[in-house]
Amino acid sequence: MAKQFITRPQVRTRYNISDMTISRWIRAGRLPEPAQFAHRHYFDEDELDEADRRAKAEYRRARAEPPKHLPPHLQNNSK
């Protein structure tokens, strides 16, 4: 099966985010680097799907861990 690529505007629509957020997510590693053809950026849909699965797993793992810091009103004040 041939690879499917989507454009930057399609990525904006897919995640309902801005161009700036796309750039930030690429720098942070949340989104894969796009391929460039004829001065246009194209994102591999399979790589985006994998990035989504990875982000979902990281979110679930973070939710399962106890919080590292508690707000003052939830801390045990009996010392």
- pTM here is 0.76
Q: Do the Cβ atoms of 15 and 45 come closer than 8 Å?
A: no
**DSSP summary character for residue 18:** -
* Tokens 């009996």, residue located: 78
Binned at pLDDT 50, 70 and 90, residue 77 comes out as: low
Which percentage of the chain shows pLDDT scores above 90? 70
